[in-house]
Chains A and B, each alone.
Chain A
Amino acid sequence: MDVLIPALHDRRKIEYVVLDKHLLIQKFSDGVREFADSPDAIVIGGDVRHAFPELAGSEDDLLCVAAGATQEWTLQLLSRSGRGGPVINLSAHAHDDGTLVLLLEDATARATVEQQLLQGSNESKLLLHTVNAAREMLDRVINALDDALLVASPSGVIRAANAAACSIFGVHQGELIGTSLTELLPAGTLVDLHSPLRRSEISAVSARGEDLPLSISISVICDSRSQPEHVVMLARDLRKEKEAERQIGKLRAEKNFLLEEIDDERHFHGIVGNSKVMAAVFKHVEQVAASDATVLLLGETGTGKELVARAIHTLSDRRDCLLVKVNCAAFQSGVVESELFGHEKGAFTGAVTRRAGRFEYAHGGTILLDEIGDLHLETQAKLLRVLQEREFERVGGNAPVHVDVRVIAATNRDLAQEVVAGRFRSDLFFRINIFPIHIPPLRDRREDIPLLVRHFLSRFTSRSNRRVSAIDPDAMDILLKYDWPGTVRELAAVLERAIIIAERDVLRKSDLAFLQKTAPPKRSATSLIDVEKQHILDVLKATDGVIEGARGAAARLGLKPSTLRSKMNKLGIQSQTRQFK
């Protein structure tokens, strides 16, 4: 040993310290001092731990080194400068004689190389970790997307797809990768994979064959030479959205249906109204309908006498036969009789064939004699006979005709006064005044105005393609306060006119300005004609005088062109297109 250690010392610059079993220094090479924390403590008989405090705690380990065995450490020793001391290889060799040799070799150079290798390996592991963590995060984000994300080659071959892509298209990821992007799109969808696309709606078909409405966006990612490198397609499943839209549509329809139902509840056989006075009318109608009693309907023109008559007819057992209507004021005296009772062939000039009268047509049903107050006295007598005996003779004939007809008479006149004035037969009056029903004018049933307005708005808008679906509270207020001279029909005419003027889908106060200008309203039949005339003029103006065709005035008014023309004639409106420009 005495030869070996110095030899090592000479050849490899290995320093040494020889210790006894109490770790006291027996022998050492001078160079050892360079490594020691306290060089002065390197003395024969000194405790090695004073020189090398690094060994504190490792005493047992040193003393346990079995004879002939070796223990090794690579230590960066304590430094006296701040940068860290030299790295040494320290090995302990036990000898049979009980001595312990510590060999100290400067390993700084080797450690530097090893350090660089380890550093490289550790750094790449760290980098891998960072990359993996970033990729995991990206994967999580991409797979958490509700939208399908597909990355394809410039030729459209799919290279990557997220979880949403698989579930939306209903295929496994493995099936998606390698197929063409265009295969996912419906045949005939013209998509240029190299030009960006923003949220374009297409209808694809899922793997299960279901309709698959999609909103797709395509973007192209280019390399440094501006050549397309990746094509990225983002596809949003619109099924839920479409379903929601459908549901909304359904709910809207249901709402409208329910509104109509509510409306129907406030309608009585087409008569709109839920006011107290109207409720009384409806009650009377129901009471009298079942019987065969003659009914007298009293009320101003346009209050809806015809609708009430129809309600009575419909509610009666006669509903399967006709309700025949006669306007007694519409005929000249000679004509009205033959209208009512018919005539025999040759009864008068022009009576070339035998003709049945309205009473015959109404057999088994109901006849409505409107404006009965206008009937001539002779006709009144004939009518009285029908009412009493249910039979009459045709004009120019002798054979009695039997009829089973229910009579509903209607008038806007005060019949009692007509009797006093001698213009109406009192016996006929008593005969028809069995069950009088008074139908109030609009001004006596203002509560019904909002309901009527809604009713007419929906009727007119569906007829005229104009979307006026609501009315401003201010505008409603005007209608409520307006001193309605006449009738529901007048309200209808006002609304129809306002709808034409309206520029928005809500009727506004300004749309009813014409109502205020026509004040003070007169309670006369002429005002209705005026309103009608003005209304027709307004419509003609709106259509530039055009009467026929889908956009013409007739269509807007819901009339046949010929009817409109005759109305215009009657009202003195000239059909010169220029006039309305």
Chain B
Amino acid sequence: MRPLNASIFKKICLLGDFAVGKTSLVRRFLDNQFNDEYLSTIGVKISRKLLEVPTPDNQLRSLNLVLWDLEGKDDFRGVAPSYLRGASGAIIVGDVTRPQTLTTLQNHVTHFLSHNPAGRIVIACNKMDMIDDDSVLQELDRPRQAISLVGTSAKSGTGVDEVFRTLCLKLAE
């Protein structure tokens, strides 16, 4: 089978508990918009974004990102493998105002990697605008398989680009 511009298309999954802000992060990243209303995602919502990222040898590389914004699940086992397979990376999202959405991060990481052993992962601790200090992040054990852990706010935009760019830099290597 001839790969379809294999170097360019990258499937990225957004995983995490319901209502942690996966859809909102994608929307901020794509359209720079935010909505306070909550509309839970059914199945998966797919979006695409073309992003130019530098490679380690300082070349610019265009990545055609296919973002799989999955229906939130508090139990990671509820995410069917067919939705995860073939992904190059994942953004696993937690909500800093709901501690139990942070404790399940590791499960999502493990689950994702079991289907994509070479997949890259960034953790987004979302809704940072709702808390006064970032001690939550300090106290959090970052899953060691994750490249990085970023405090984000889809509402204010803080950290959103950083999450996607950190992941894409790794994917461009």
Contacts and interface: CB of A to CB of B under 8 A. Distances in A.
Given A47-B2, A71-B82, 13 more contacts: A53-B9, A56-B4, A56-B64, A57-B11, A57-B66, A59-B1, A61-B85, A73-B83, A76-B41, A76-B42, A76-B46, A115-B40, A118-B40
Contact of A21 (B1, B9, B42, B45): B1
Interface of B: 1-4, 9-11, 18-19, 31, 38-48, 64, 66, 71-72, 82-83, 85-88, 98
A50 to B, nearest CB: 7
A425 B69 CA distance: 131
A122 interface: yes
B66 A22 contact: no
Contacts of A74: 42-44
Contacts of B83: 73
Contact of A75 (B3, B19, B43, B72): B43
Secondary structure of the B contact surface, majority rule: loop
Contact of A72 (B9, B42, B46, B82): B82
Nearest to A126: B19
Contacts of B39: 115, 119
Interface string A72-114: 1111111000101001000000000000000000000001001
A123 B42 CA distance: 14
A501 to B, nearest CB: 64
Contacts of B9: 53, 56-57
A345 B64 CA distance: 145
Given A23-B1, A53-B48, A126-B19, A60 B43 contact: no
B106 to A, nearest CB: 20
A78 B47 contact: yes
A49 interface: yes
Interface residues on A, range: 35 or more
Given A61-B85, A73-B83, A125-B18, A78 B38 contact: no
Contacts of B42: 74, 76, 87, 111, 114-115, 118
Interface string A1-40: 0000000000000000000011100000000000000000
A63 B140 CA distance: 40
A523 interface: no
7 tightest A-B CB contacts, nearest first? A57-B11, A74-B43, A56-B9, A57-B86, A76-B45, A49-B4, A115-B42
A333 B83 CA distance: 136
Contact of B38 (A63, A71, A123): A123
18 contacts: A22-B1, A22-B2, A47-B2, A56-B4, A57-B10, A57-B86, A58-B82, A59-B3, A72-B82, A73-B82, A74-B42, A75-B43, A75-B44, A84-B45, A115-B42, A126-B19, A126-B38, A129-B98
Given A76-B42, A111-B42, A63 B1 contact: yes
B65 to A, nearest CB: 10
Contact of A122 (B11, B18, B47): B18
A413 to B, nearest CB: 92
Nearest to A129: B98
For B39, B42, B71, the residue with the greatest tally of chain A CB atoms inside 10 Å of its CB is B42
Contact of A78 (B46, B72, B85): B46
Contact of A54 (B3, B66, B72, B85): B66
A64 to B, nearest CB: 9
Contacts of A73: 43-44, 82-83
Given A22-B2, A53-B66, A59-B1, A118 B71 contact: yes
B40 A119 contact: yes
A492 to B, nearest CB: 70
Contacts of B88: 57
A119 B41 CA distance: 8
Nearest to A60: B86
Contacts of B46: 54, 75-78
Nearest to A120: B40
Contacts of B18: 122, 125
A114 B43 CA distance: 10
A125 B19 CA distance: 10
A58 B11 contact: yes
Nearest to A23: B1
A444 B46 CA distance: 109
Contact of B72 (A122, A123, A129): A122
Query: Quick one: which of B1, B9, B88, B98 has the most chain A CB within 10 A?
Result: B1
Given A49-B4, A126-B19, A111 B82 contact: no
A84 B48 CA distance: 12
Contacts of B85: 58, 60-61
Contacts of A114: 42
B62 to A, nearest CB: 14
Contacts of B43: 73-76, 87, 111
B7 to A, nearest CB: 12
Nearest to B84: A61
B113 to A, nearest CB: 16
A91 to B, nearest CB: 11
Contacts of B40: 115, 118-119, 122
The CB with the most chain A CB atoms within 10 A, among B41, B43, B85, is that of B43
Nearest to A82: B31
Contacts of A47: 2, 4
A78 B48 contact: yes
